[in-house]
Amino acid sequence: MARPLTVAGIFAHPDDETWSLAGSFALLVPKGIRGAVWTATRGQAGQIAEGSGATRETLPQVREAEERAAMAEVGVERVEFGDFVDGEVEGADLNALTTGVHRFLEREQPDVVVTMEPGGVTTHPDHVAVTAATQAAFGAYVAAAGERAPRFYYWGVPVSGMAGWRQLGRASGYKLPGEDDPYGGFGTPDDQFTCTVDTSAVAEQAWRALCRHRTQADDPWYRLLGHQDNWRAVFTRSQFIRVHPAPRPGDPPETSLVEAFGGSGGLMERSGSPPEDRANG
Ligand SMILES: [Zn+2]
In contact, 167 and 224? CB cutoff 8 Å: no
Q: Give the Å distance between the CA of 13 and the centre of ligand 1.
A: 4
Peptide bond into 245 cis (omega under 30): yes
Q: Residue 138 pLDDT more than 70?
A: yes
The strand pairing partners of 269, in sequence order, are 4
In contact, 7 and 257? CB cutoff 8 Å: yes
In contact, 215 and 70? CB cutoff 8 Å: no
Q: Give the Å distance between the CA of 123 and the centre of ligand 1.
A: 10
Q: What is the pLDDT of residue 269?
A: 55
Residue 176 is given by DSSP the state P
Where does the pLDDT of residue 1 fall: very low under 50, low under 70, confident under 90, or very high at 90 and above? low
Q: Give the Å distance between the CA of 16 and the centre of ligand 1.
A: 5
Q: What is the pLDDT of residue 181?
A: 81
pLDDT, tens digit (0-9, with 9 covering 90-100), for 139-160: 999 999 877 799 999 999 999 9
Topology of domain 6-280, CATH: Rossmann fold (3.40.50)
Distance separating alpha carbons of residues 189 and 70, to the nearest angstrom: 29
Q: What is the pLDDT of residue 279?
A: 37
Tell me if the pTM is above 0.85: yes
Q: Point out the least confidently predicted range of 107-111, 122-126, 199-203.
A: 122-126
Mean pLDDT computed over 173-198: 89
Q: What is the SS3 assignment for 41?
A: strand
Residue 186 is given by DSSP the state -
Q: Give the Å distance between the CA of 125 and the centre of ligand 1.
A: 9
Distance separating alpha carbons of residues 186 and 189, to the nearest angstrom: 9
Q: What are phi and psi of 130, to 5 degrees?
A: -65, -40
In contact, 8 and 152? CB cutoff 8 Å: no
Q: Residue 234 pLDDT more than 80?
A: yes
The stretches of the chain forming alpha helices (DSSP H) are: 16-28, 59-73, 94-108, 120-123, 125-143, 159-172, 203-211, 220-226, 231-235, 275-280
Q: Give the Å distance between the CA of 46 and the centre of ligand 1.
A: 9
Average pLDDT for the chain: 91
Looking only at the bridges linking them, the beta strands covering 78-84 and 34-41 are: parallel
Scored b (16 or more CB within 10 A) or e, 199-232 reads beebbebbbbbbbbbbbbbebebbbbbbeeebbe
Q: Give the Å distance between the CA of 9 and the centre of ligand 1.
A: 13
List all residues 6 or more positions away from 183 whose beta carbon is below 8 Å from its beta carbon: 123
Q: Give the Å distance between the CA of 281 and the centre of ligand 1.
A: 36
Residue 243 is given by DSSP the state E
Where does the pLDDT of residue 184 fall: very low under 50, low under 70, confident under 90, or very high at 90 and above? confident
Q: Which amino acid is at 6?
A: T
Q: Give the Å distance between the CA of 128 and the centre of ligand 1.
A: 10
pLDDT, tens digit (0-9, with 9 covering 90-100), for 63-87: 999 999 999 999 999 999 999 999 9
In contact, 106 and 67? CB cutoff 8 Å: no
Top-confidence residue, 57 or 268:
57
- 176 vs 6, 24, 213, CA distance in Å? 34, 25, 18
